[in-house]
A = this chain, B = another copy of it.
Amino acid sequence: MTKKVLVGLLLLTGLAVFSQGKLIHTGEISGYVTLKCDFHTHTVFSDGEVWPAFRIREAMNDGLDVLAITDHLEYHPYKDYFAEDDNAAFRVAKNRADRNNLLLIRGTEITREMPPGHFNALFLNDSTVFEDTTFMKVMEKAINQGAFILWNHPGWKGQQPDGVARKYEIHEKLIHDGWVHGMEIYNDSEFYPEVMAWCLQDDLTMIGNSDVHGSTAEVASSRGYDHRVMTLVFAKDRSIKALKDALFAGRTLVWYGDTIAGNLDMAEPFVKSSLKRSSVHHETNKHLYYRIENPTDIPFFLTHGENPGAPKKIKLRPRSYQIIRVKKGGDQTLVYTVSNVKIDARERLKVEL
């Protein structure tokens, strides 16, 4: 193949020009940047259906700052055609990620029957050393590489036939020994309420990942949303080091569909920074009028308003405002339950505007 044809082909495939990305506007937490992350994706190097370069471009189109490619360590269904090289996907993708300002995390999915199930080890140096050994040995090596380790889809019906997440003895041990640092409370559209409770109880980091094998566009479209599930990480700056620190410190929220899930310490300032209440713009004998703004790309559904002179519900779609009125003479505080912000398996965030 001569160079001349090669250049032609590159032009043809148009890869050079697909370097655009989406900007997502979310709330913020003071002192941190909000990194949009997906820590669980697959490529043709395990059982995914796309080449790593596709994942990079897709991540940019989806507005991500951070992507982990986490091919299965033990499962290579295309091995008749493909080298079984657990470092390959990262090696192929790294340069393209760097050029495009996407933070690419080297990871792997340790893929075992339940128990223990599937685990993602992130921030690795070398995946090849994990091959052909026992689960605990792999985990040990990953820990020695300084990995952040998360338990994937603990309630997945493929491994928990009744759909209820259940901890086995080995999970208790892993958590106790500090060998598991986080858990997926969302895997694509699946939510595991039990896992959210465990994370709160044991101070584990809550994660939401796409686990995409095909394309996120087709998954999002089938779910009826315009974005993939993602983990919002609140990091000191936009770097892999700061990201890793934030993950170990548990500074995350999960965004799936219209829902935000995470602990109170993250959810409250995040939502408060998303919503703005104006001063009074109009006044009648009986009422004062305010404007509530949500300039972000995430909707907020306020319910159970506690002020009897104000609306019971306020629906704040992305990039919209609502006009509300409050009875004069009484209390002007506005306290609402945010029905799409989960701070526990069953509890919803309460905010004062």
For window 72-119 of chain A, which residues contact chain B by CB distance below 8 Å? 72, 74-75, 78, 80-83, 85, 88, 92, 98-101, 111-113
Q: Which A215-237 residues have a C-beta within 8 angstroms of B? A: 215, 217-218
Q: How far is the CA of A83 from the CA of B157 in the complex (A)?
A: 35
> Which residues 1-57 of A have a CB within 8 angstroms of B?
1-2, 4-9, 11-15, 18-25, 44-45, 47-51, 53-54, 57
CA of A50 to CA of B214, assembled, Å: 9
Q: Does A155 contact B (CB under 8 A)?
A: no
The CA-CA distance from A8 to B20 in the complex, in Å, is: 36
B289→A101 contact, CB < 8 A: yes
Establish whether residues B20 and A317, one from each chain, have CB atoms under 8 Å apart when the complex forms. yes
CA distance A282 to B72 in the complex (A): 30
Contact flag A282-B23 (CB < 8 Å), given A111-B5, A214-B18:
no
Please, how many angstroms separate the alpha-carbon atoms of A350 and B289 in the complex?
44
Complex Cα–Cα for A315 and B156 (A):
22
A321 at the interface (CB under 8 A from B): yes
Interface of chain A residues 266 through 322 with chain B (CB within 8 A): 278, 281-282, 284, 289, 291, 293-295, 315, 317, 319-322
In the assembled complex, which residues on chain B have CB atoms less than 8 Å from the CB atom of A51?
Answer: 44, 48-50, 78
A145 in the interface (beta carbon within 8 A): no
Contacts of A282 in B (CB 8 A): 98-99, 101
Contact of A323 among B8, B19, B25 (CB under 8 A): B19
B158 A321 Cβ-Cβ under 8 A: no
A293 partner residues in chain B, CB cutoff 8 A: 23
Contact of A25 among B47, B281, B295 (CB under 8 A): B295
- Residues in chain B near residue A47, CB distance under 8 A: 9, 13
Which chain B positions have C-beta within 8 A of A158?
A: 7-9, 11-12
Interchain CB contact under 8 A, A214 and B289: no
Q: Is A259 an interface residue (CB 8 A)?
A: no
Cβ contacts under 8 Å, A53 to chain B: 49
A213 at the interface (CB under 8 A from B): yes
Interface-central residue, A12, A75, A295, by most chain B CB under 10 Å: A12
| Complex-state Cα separation, A49 to B93, whole angstroms | 12
Interface: A181 (CB within 8 A)? no
Residues from chain B with a CB closer than 8 A to the CB of A80 are: 83
In the complex formed, the residue of B with least CB distance to A19 is B323
A6 to B156, CA, bound (A): 14
Residues of B with C-beta under 8 A to A156: 8, 12
Q: Which of B15, B18, B82, B295 contacts A83 (CB 8 A)?
A: B82
Q: A8 contacts which chain B residues (CB < 8 A)?
A: 156, 158-159
Identify the closest chain B residue to A157 (Cβ): B11
Contact B20–A320 (Cβ < 8 Å): yes
Q: How far is the CA of A112 from the CA of B8 in the complex (A)?
A: 11
5 smallest CB-CB distances across A and B, nearest first, come from A8-B158, A19-B323, A49-B54, A49-B51, A13-B213
A sample of 26 cross-chain residue pairs with beta-carbon separation below 8 angstroms, ordered by A number, consists of A1-B74, A2-B113, A5-B75, A5-B112, A5-B113, A8-B158, A8-B159, A9-B158, A12-B153, A13-B214, A15-B213, A19-B323, A20-B315, A23-B295, A24-B319, A44-B51, A49-B51, A50-B50, A50-B51, A57-B218, A61-B218, A82-B82, A101-B278, A101-B282, A215-B217, A217-B217
